[in-house]
A = this chain, B = another copy of it.
Amino acid sequence: MKSIKEWTYSVEVRRDVVSTAAPLLRAMGERRCLVVTTPTVHNLYRELFGAMVDHGQGRMHVHVTGGREAGKTLEAAWAICRKAAEGGVERNGVLIGIGGGVCTDLTTVAASLVRRGVAIVKVPTTLIGQVDAGIGIKGGVNEGGAKNYLGCFHPPEAVFVDPAFLQTLPAEHLRYGLAEVIKIALVGCRQLFGTVVDWGPALVESGFARPADMAQEVIAHAIELMLDELRPNLFEDQNNRRAVDLGHTFSPLIEGATDFALHHGAAVATDLALSAGIAFELGYCSQAERDVIHETLSASGLPIYHSCLTPELCWRAMERATAHRRGAVNLVVPAGIGQVAFVEQAVNVPVALLAEAIAHLGRRQQRWLGPARVVAYQPLY
CB within 8 Å of B: which residues of A? Answer: 1-11, 74, 78, 81-82, 85-86, 88, 90-92, 109, 112-117, 138, 140, 143-144, 146, 148-153, 155, 227, 230-231, 234-237, 320, 323-327
Chain B positions within 8 Å of A324 at CB level: 90-91, 115
Give A148's nearest chain B residue, CB to CB: B116
Judge whether B81 and A115 touch: CB under 8 Å.
no
Contact of A138 among B78, B116, B146 (CB under 8 A): B116
Are A237 and B5 CB-contacts (below 8 A) given A152-B113, A323-B92?
yes
Judge whether A5 and B2 touch: CB under 8 Å.
no
Chain B positions within 8 Å of A4 at CB level: 4-7
Judge whether A149 and B85 touch: CB under 8 Å.
yes
What CA separation (Å) do A321 and B151 show in the bound complex?
A: 28
Are A5 and B5 CB-contacts (below 8 A) given A113-B150, A116-B138, A148-B116?
yes
Q: Could you jot down 21 A-B contacts, CB within 8 Å?
A: A1-B7, A1-B9, A1-B11, A1-B230, A3-B6, A3-B234, A3-B235, A5-B235, A74-B74, A81-B150, A90-B323, A92-B327, A114-B149, A114-B150, A115-B149, A115-B150, A116-B140, A116-B151, A116-B152, A117-B152, A117-B153
Judge whether A6 and B1 touch: CB under 8 Å.
no
Judge whether A78 and B74 touch: CB under 8 Å.
yes
Distance (Å) between the CB of A319 and the closest chain B CB?
10
Judge whether B10 and A1 touch: CB under 8 Å.
yes
Chain B positions within 8 Å of A150 at CB level: 81, 113-116
What CA separation (Å) do A113 and B152 show in the bound complex?
A: 6
What CA separation (Å) do A236 and B116 show in the bound complex?
A: 10
Judge whether B144 and A86 touch: CB under 8 Å.
yes
Give A74's nearest chain B residue, CB to CB: B78
Chain B positions within 8 Å of A91 at CB level: 323-326
Are A146 and B85 CB-contacts (below 8 A) given A6-B2, A8-B2?
yes
Distance (Å) between the CB of A229 and the closest chain B CB?
11
Chain B positions within 8 Å of A5 at CB level: 4-7, 234-235, 237
Distance (Å) between the CB of A323 and the closest chain B CB?
3
What CA separation (Å) do A236 and B115 show in the bound complex?
A: 11
What CA separation (Å) do A150 and B85 show in the bound complex?
A: 9
Chain B positions within 8 Å of A116 at CB level: 138, 140, 148, 150-153, 236
Judge whether A90 and B320 touch: CB under 8 Å.
yes
Chain B positions within 8 Å of A227 at CB level: 1
Distance (Å) between the CB of A96 and the closest chain B CB?
18
Give A86's nearest chain B residue, CB to CB: B144
